[in-house]
Structure 1
């Protein structure tokens, strides 16, 4: 029946109804649940998105999905981070514990599908209980993990675990390139009640999948104190990456920090005595543009440091041995960490800088039981298959297979290879070889002298592009990088992988 109203007046009832439905959705789990959530020092799902994206850029998708269940427990949409479009999903723990219903599942699928279609990053903010126990069957409803898996290597994917994350929802994190957790986060296949019912084990969520467990297992890469810190680190991580594998990382606007400069500080940091330890992080502070580089997985596989940095304003990935841990020997955890990091960097065309200083793969029965050879082979496969620019410096020593995984082979598609004078190398150290062969003192001295001359003999046969004074390290790497970047004379494309990782 006609109301007699025309123009804008005729729209009023319809628009009022829409606004009422939107307000109900934006109320999430209601004032009481929101107050309880905020009382734990957490941001709610919508506040998390506001913290993540540039002000005023968030456009929600599927606001009315779920009907009476606000947004069906997950807020999704598009926004921008420092001007770059992104797709984002935030589980709403105040609404049915952020559990996944049919509508929420479709929303999750949709944003991953759009991220790949539009070639922009995907960020998931997790705090949820997994699939909702409705008793129904999802049938052929497409699962979000399918569309997210298709994003792998095509667009950057990041997961932030900001509370308990269980079941299917927890699987979102390991599929992502980068995973970061807050101190209140926990991630597990099933929560404590299910564990108690299934196995009889009584355990807290912190003991099951809290930060200590998740970091030690390698399921999570980094830890942040609270929601704000974690979200800020997500933004910082993405700042090093292009929007997708169809584009190259963006150079910063050049300033004085990007300019060439000598690095005399390395003479004091890197001891000429191979047995003296030092912190490789101090080398990174000196060599790269600024000492605010971003370390990935600092608490796992600590014998290798993986970091994102800038060199001459260009984003680069850094893989560096850490002499402070196991004398730089590469164990299984370090190799696994590095291989994943290398593949992510390669997928998004970040040049990789290798800084080698290790006595080889970690020997011993415990190391062998951990699968060090498999992990080392995986790292070698990742680095030798990498198609991005590779720059390598041997600082003091590189022995055996440990040298190969650190890209020491001069004709393995490196853009530049360097070594400090006196760097020692070979199948194993002279001391180890002497003990292994029961060499007499005079033979041991010969072996040691040969080891000390190894860098010069290698240079005579172009084993390295150049032996460099440590004070030339930054400038040599910068020159190699700037030259190598000229190879980008065609549009970027996703990496086609044919290697099967061990």
Structure 2
């Protein structure tokens, strides 16, 4: 006879065999709860259960007998579930997680996507997917919701505030790891909430530790006054701005904007090494609400920081037509920090003899000279 003993002190929560049952080595027979965790006990030999010593609710000590098994060669099949296990099958708990993640994806939010189409813009996820190498983006914190449980139901927050308005994570761009972040204007106008501040803090710390570049799509309305679940007084007691400023000079910081970018969002954009902005961008440290609240009158968002102001004054480094062109510019900018190119070509350098005039007083096209000196298609002005 062989005793099946308890490996630890705990409480019996399940006994899955009875006297006379056939058991095989490794078969789950008894489950013990200890420190709120369940521990499976299985016999080390196959045979016949001759005695069940414990019952549900009993407290057992280490080494205490639970079952007595008479070892024998028994004809017993393995666990049917284990035999038929489909490694590709999705368990119910995983299915629940996947369904929860899907709530925030574009195909589950047709009304939000339609609003972007009406404004001639792409969604945050479309921009992230376009920038990152296919299949490389791993999102951080996609299940968080706005910190507004005191005034809105969780169900509403799940459906209306996915990822708390910040799509963020790590992917590869041109084969190199990059932190990519994008405020989602379809979620509370791309405002900065308590939870998306926490996501920024985490990823900014990761950028510092791993020396990863950051590409940040900054469209949004700045700090969010409607969050209710925090303990701070102003919403400014966060580390995001300090952490982001500390990355300057340490890793490449690329800001990309399309549409409105006000207040805290503009602070992030302004800290970037290079600012890429589309023709429909309006960038200002104060949005309409802040301007009106300061007693300066009612101002339309389209009157604040348009491109015909922000390009000449140097706020915008690279002006582009749309988001697709902005993403291409960001990808090209990052390539300058990603090591030697695998292949390249250039124009015939003999052309430089004619591009620069012999007469030193004669004006000439400097851009043509730069294009000739550089690898073909590599110049980003």
TM-score (norm 1): 0.52
3-state SS in 1 of match to 2:104: helix
Structure 1 286/14 Cα, relative in aligned 2: closer, same or farther at 3 Å?
Answer: closer
1:164 maps to: 260
Counting only pairs closer than 5 Å after superposition, residues 424-443 of structure 1 correspond to structure 2 as none
For 1:16 and 1:255, how far apart are their aligned partners in 2?
Answer: 46
In structure 2, list runs of 5 or more residues that go unmatched: 1-12, 17-79, 146-156
C-alpha displacement at 1:27, in angstroms? 4.7
2:351·2:372 contact (CA, 8 Å) conserved in 1?
no
For 1:52 and 1:40, how far apart are their aligned partners in 2?
Answer: 21
Residue 281 (structure 1) aligned with residue 367 (structure 2): yes
1:16 maps to: 95
1:322 maps to: none
3-state SS in 2 of match to 1:16: helix
Structure of larger gyration radius: 2
2:206 maps to: 114
Aligned counterpart in structure 2 of residue 60 of structure 1, from 139, 146, 165: 139
1:182·1:227 contact (CA, 8 Å) conserved in 2?
yes
For 1:39 and 1:183, how far apart are their aligned partners in 2?
Answer: 16
- List per-residue Cα deviations over 1:24-49 (Å, max 9, x = no partner): 22259932222011222211011110
For 1:161 and 1:256, how far apart are their aligned partners in 2?
Answer: 32
RMSD: 2.9
For 1:29 and 1:36, how far apart are their aligned partners in 2?
Answer: 14
1:180·1:221 contact (CA, 8 Å) conserved in 2?
yes
For 1:155 and 1:292, how far apart are their aligned partners in 2?
Answer: 21
2:347·2:372 contact (CA, 8 Å) conserved in 1?
no
For 1:98 and 1:40, how far apart are their aligned partners in 2?
Answer: 15
2:115 maps to: 36
C-alpha displacement at 1:125, in angstroms? 0.8
Counting only pairs closer than 5 Å after superposition, residues 146-295 of structure 1 correspond to structure 2 as 146-242=242-338, 250-253=339-342, 257=346, 263-266=352-355, 269-270=356-357, 272=359, 274=361, 276-290=362-376, 292-295=378-381
- List per-residue Cα deviations over 1:262-299 (Å, max 9, x = no partner): 73113xx436252x43332122133333365111xxxx
More helix, by proportion: 1
For 1:130 and 1:106, how far apart are their aligned partners in 2?
Answer: 15
| Of 41-50 and 184-193, the range deviating more from structure 2 | 184-193
Structure 1 77/278 Cα, relative in aligned 2: closer, same or farther at 3 Å?
Answer: same
3-state SS in 2 of match to 1:251: coil
C-alpha displacement at 1:221, in angstroms? 0.9
In structure 1, list runs of 5 or more residues that go unmatched: 243-249, 296-502
For 1:254 and 1:33, how far apart are their aligned partners in 2?
Answer: 41
TM-score (norm 2): 0.67
Runs of 4 or more, structure 1, over 4 Å off, are 4-11, 258-262
3-state SS in 2 of match to 1:159: strand
1:29·1:94 contact (CA, 8 Å) conserved in 2?
no
C-alpha displacement at 1:106, in angstroms? 0.6
3-state SS in 2 of match to 1:217: coil
1:431 maps to: none
Query: How many aligned positions are there?
Result: 284
Structure 1 227/256 Cα, relative in aligned 2: closer, same or farther at 3 Å?
Answer: closer
